[in-house]
C-alpha cells in the first residue's frame, strides 16, 4: 500500500455570503488540521487518523498561545523554532 505523504483533501467551508467558516486538510501519512470559527470563537483541531486534540485559538495569550510556548520550551530538540 502506498502511503500518501503530501497535502490533500483541502476543504474550505463558507457561508452563503462567502465568509470563510473553516478550513481543513490532511497531510503526511495520516495527519489532519482543521481551523473553524463559530460563535465568535476560533478552534484548531490537530490529529493523527482520528486521535488528536482541539484547542481555542481566539485570544492573544489564550490556550493556543500557551500550548505553542509550552511546546517551544519543552520540545526544542525535536522541533525547528521559527521566529
**Residues spanned by the domain of 59:** 7-74
Q: Is residue 59 situated within a structural domain?
A: yes
Q: With 0-12 CB in 10 A as exposed, 13-18 as middle and 19+ as buried, what is 14?
A: exposed
Q: Is residue 51 situated within a structural domain?
A: yes
Grid cell in block for residue 35: 481551523
**Three-point CA angle 44, 48, 49, nearest 5°:** 115
Compute the average pLDDT of residues 55-83.
97
pLDDT at 2 over 80: no
- What local confidence, expressed as pLDDT, does residue 3 receive? 64
CA-closest candidate to residue 31, choices 52, 1, 10: 52
- What local confidence, expressed as pLDDT, does residue 5 receive? 76
Q: Is residue 80 situated within a structural domain?
A: no
Q: Is residue 1 situated within a structural domain?
A: no
Contact 11, 24 (CB under 8 A): yes
Domain count, the chain: 1
Amino acid at each position: 500500500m502506498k502511503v500518501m505523504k503530501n497535502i490533500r483533501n483541502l476543504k474550505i467551508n463558507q457561508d452563503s455570503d462567502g465568509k470563510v467558516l473553516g478550513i481543513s486538510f490532511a497531510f503526511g501519512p495520516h495527519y489532519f488540521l482543521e481551523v473553524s470559527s463559530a460563535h465568535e470563537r476560533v478552534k484548531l483541531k490537530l490529529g493523527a487518523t482520528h486521535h488528536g486534540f482541539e484547542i481555542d485559538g481566539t485570544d492573544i495569550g489564550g490556550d493556543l498561545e500557551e500550548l505553542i510556548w509550552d511546546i517551544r520550551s519543552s520540545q526544542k530538540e525535536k522541533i525547528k523554532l521559527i521566529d
